[in-house]
Amino acid sequence: MITTKNIENSNSATPAILTIGTFDGVHLGHKKIIKKLVKSAKEKKLRSCILTFFPHPRNFLSKSNDLKMINTIREKKEILDELGVDELIIQEFNDKFSNLSANEFIRHLLKFCEIKEIIVGFNHKFGKDREAGIDELKVYGKKYGFDVMEIDAFDINQINISSTKIRNAIGAGEVELCNEYLGYNFSIDGNIVKGKSIGKKIGFPTANIRVEENYKILPKNGVYFVSCKIKNIQKFGMMNIGFNPTFGNKKLTIEVNIFDFNQDVYGENIKIEFIKFIRNEIKFQNIDELIKQIKIDRETCKSYMNSTYNN
Q: What is the pLDDT of residue 157?
A: 59
Domain locations along the chain: 2-160, 185-309
CB atoms under 10 Å from CB of 208, counted, come to 19
Equal CATH topology for 2-160 and 185-309 = no
Q: What ranges make up the beta strands (E) of 31-86?
A: 47-54
Q: What is the pLDDT of residue 152?
A: 76
Q: What is the pLDDT of residue 205?
A: 86
CB atoms under 10 Å from CB of 173, counted, come to 22
CA distances from 196 to 193, 205, 208 (A): 10, 11, 9
Q: What is the pLDDT of residue 11?
A: 73
Tell me the mean pLDDT per 10 residues along the chain, length 311.
93 88 93 93 96 94 89 96 96 95 95 94 89 94 95 66 94 96 96 80 86 95 96 94 84 93 90 97 90 95 90 59
Q: What is the pLDDT of residue 182?
A: 96
pTM: 0.92
CATH architecture for residues 185-309: Beta Barrel (2.40)
Q: What is the pLDDT of residue 240?
A: 96
pLDDT one-digit tens code per residue, 184-221: 999 999 999 987 767 677 778 889 999 999 999 999 99
* Beta bridge pairs of residue 3: 88
Q: Which of 184, 183, 174, 175 is nearest to 156 (CA)?
A: 183
Q: 2-160: CATH homologous superfamily?
A: HUPs (3.40.50.620)
pLDDT one-digit tens code per residue, 127-166: 999 999 999 999 999 999 999 998 876 655 556 788 999 9
**How open is the CA angle 203-204-207, to the nearest 5 degrees?**
140
CB atoms under 10 Å from CB of 187, counted, come to 18
CB atoms under 10 Å from CB of 36, counted, come to 16
